[in-house]
Amino acid sequence: MDGTMMDFPLTLTPMLERAGKLFPDVEIVTRLPDKSLHRHTFAEFHQRTRRLAAALEGAGLKRGERVATIMWNGYAHLEAYFAVPCSGGVLHTLNFRLHENDIAFIANHAEDRFLIVDDVLLPIFERIKDKVKFERVFVVPLSGAPIPEGLENYEDFLATGRADYAFPELKENEASGMCYTSGTTGRPKGVAYSHRAMVLHTFCVGLADTVGLTQRDVLMPVVPMFHANAWGLAHAAMMMGSKLAFPGPHMDAENILGLCESEQVTLAAGVPTIWIGILQALEADSGRWKLHPDLRSVVGGSALPEGMIRGFDRHGITTIHAWGMTEMTPIGTISRLKRGMEALSEDERYQARAKQGLAVPFVEMRVINDEGEAPWDGESMGELQVRGPWIASSYYNSEEGSDKWSADGWFGTGDVVTIDKEGYVKITDRTKDLIKSGGEWISSVDLENALMGHAGVREAAVIAVPHEKWTERPLAVVVAAEGAAPSAAELKEYLSQSFAKWWLPDNYEFVDEIPRTSTGKFLKTALREKFATRDWGA
């Protein structure tokens, strides 16, 4: 027998409508490029979002068509976050830190029709404009810089939309957004989120035992809004009706702590690299900022070191470790102590909090190694596989990468983990040949291939080594060609011709040979064991 409930689609529109109706006075604060604060209310946001949706429809945007953004975290990005999907379009947030060729590839692969870009990010648009095919480009006037010919002012465009526009009825499995991940080998791959997945993920983010966002919170998403739906936090703020404080382009400790103080932020979220700087600033002068006594922060994207959890505790700020992936909308685990674990020793409690944590509701997990499914004993390692309602079942329009899904429908994360008997996941390694530096991916394979194109290099393997600020940095292990003796400076200069500056290995280790696996591949685990413990400095 079926239940007798209404068949009510899970889409983002009711979240937006409710927030506008019930929380009209809640503020959205954005730090602008000149560091002043832009403020408006949910009522204004709601009206502007409606206008933007109407304007997009007036411009001919049809169901399922993509609108790209190149934007910092701020009020206009939030408008796009809801206007695009609620009008039936698909929001495609472009990661503007990528190399221009990758940004262009991604925009073309997704067939983005329109672009919304912050005026301060126009230099990035300039670098890609000849490689992409946006029909219209809307520029958000944040700094007052003149808008180049051929591009349109976002505010003028928004004004063309009717304020009484009615959002269309959507089906819950229609796509609401897209993100591309470069956390894979080969070309970046697209993930298309459905309204349903976003709504369910938002409920999950709100749970008291996950992120635990409430209407009384003031949320500061430092995690870029182009990265995996800003971890679902902007959506959660809309569902709960929480005040938002956006850092805009100013992500340094001084400005972030200043915003925490002026807006009395209670929940912040970002990658460890950001929090290192903040901890250092607090250690230098802890009394300087009058922070909210309940300030807590969700840290993820890379491993949160135990020392950082302890450090923030000293300043009364609780850090909550989370793990996820672009393919997972992204939240997969959160590390909070279970009832009874208060009785553990202090060291054991910190060790548990530094693990990636417990699977959130509806995310199922298993660990697979050569022997099959590994037991949850805290020791047996294997690849973490997941499934659930907000986990991708394929990449968008790409056969490449389809081997990540097992025949029985699980997604292989590429993270090597143990799970202990309490269910806490701990990442011990990665199967993917990638380095995560400051929350962004660097391809070791691309660097190796380039290095091996240098006349003085016979073989090169690039591995991740731990780094205090950036979490990981690339280290190049090089075997020189017969009779050659290339210097580190020479190799770095050579690589700088093809890669963004932050991709370049800081260190080069010259060896006689690189250990190999039985199948002849570089044995990177051996290299990591040999080099990862060394102090590589800043």
Decide: is 221 part of the binding site for ligand AMP (CB under 6 A). no
Q: What's the closest the beta carbon of residue 335 comes to ligand AMP, in angstroms?
A: 8
Question: Stretches 27-35, 323-331, 375-383, 491-499: which one binds ligand AMP (CB under 6 A)?
Answer: 323-331
Q: What's the closest the beta carbon of residue 182 comes to ligand AMP, in angstroms?
A: 7
Q: What's the closest the beta carbon of residue 203 comes to ligand AMP, in angstroms?
A: 21
Beta bridge partners of 92: 68, 178
Decide: is 427 part of the binding site for ligand AMP (CB under 6 A). yes
Residue among 356, 385, 443, 444 that touches ligand AMP (CB under 6 A): 356
Count of residues that bind ligand AMP according to CB under 6 A: 21
Decide: is 319 part of the binding site for ligand AMP (CB under 6 A). no
Residue among 139, 151, 200, 228 that touches ligand AMP (CB under 6 A): 228
Strand ranges (E), 347-439: 358-359, 364-369, 372-373, 382-387, 411-419, 425-430, 434-437
Q: Taking a C-beta distance cutoff of 8 angstroms, is the pair 456, 486 a contact?
A: yes
Handedness of CA 42, 28, 230, 124 (dihedral sign): positive
* Tokens 């209404």, located at residue: 6
Residue among 300, 305, 382, 505 that touches ligand AMP (CB under 6 A): 300
* Helical ranges in 59-174 per DSSP H: 75-86, 100-109, 122-128, 154-159
- Using the minimum distance from each CB to ligand AMP, give the nearer residue, 9 or 412: 412
Residue among 72, 165, 323, 390 that touches ligand AMP (CB under 6 A): 323
Decide: is 303 part of the binding site for ligand AMP (CB under 6 A). yes
Q: What's the closest the beta carbon of residue 233 comes to ligand AMP, in angstroms?
A: 14
Residue among 30, 49, 181, 273 that touches ligand AMP (CB under 6 A): 181
Decide: is 47 part of the binding site for ligand AMP (CB under 6 A). no
Q: At what angle do helices 75-86 and 13-22 cross, to 10 degrees?
A: 130
Q: What's the closest the beta carbon of residue 320 comes to ligand AMP, in angstroms?
A: 10
Decide: is 325 part of the binding site for ligand AMP (CB under 6 A). yes
Decide: is 297 part of the binding site for ligand AMP (CB under 6 A). no
Q: What's the closest the beta carbon of residue 35 comes to ligand AMP, in angstroms?
A: 29
Phi, psi of 457 (to 5 degrees): -115, 130
Question: Stretches 13-21, 318-326, 458-466, 477-485: which one binds ligand AMP (CB under 6 A)?
Answer: 318-326
Burial class (CB in 10 A: 0-12, 13-18, 19+), 18: middle
> What gap in Å lies between CA 199 and CA 274, rounded to an integer?
28
Interactions with ligand AMP, residue window 393-422 (CB under 6 A)? 413-415
Decide: is 85 part of the binding site for ligand AMP (CB under 6 A). no
Residue type, 94: L
Q: Write the CB contacts of 305 (distance below 8 Å, at least 6 apart in sequence).
A: 272, 354
> What gap in Å lies between CA 291 and CA 288, rounded to an integer?
9
Decide: is 183 part of the binding site for ligand AMP (CB under 6 A). yes
Q: What's the closest the beta carbon of residue 323 comes to ligand AMP, in angstroms?
A: 4
> What gap in Å lies between CA 217 and CA 381, rounded to an integer?
38
Phi, psi of 156 (to 5 degrees): -65, -40
Q: Catalytic residues, which ones?
A: 181, 327, 436, 441
Burial class (CB in 10 A: 0-12, 13-18, 19+), 281: middle
**Interface contacts to ligand AMP, rule CB under 6 A:** 181, 183, 228, 300-303, 321-326, 330, 356, 413-415, 427, 430, 436
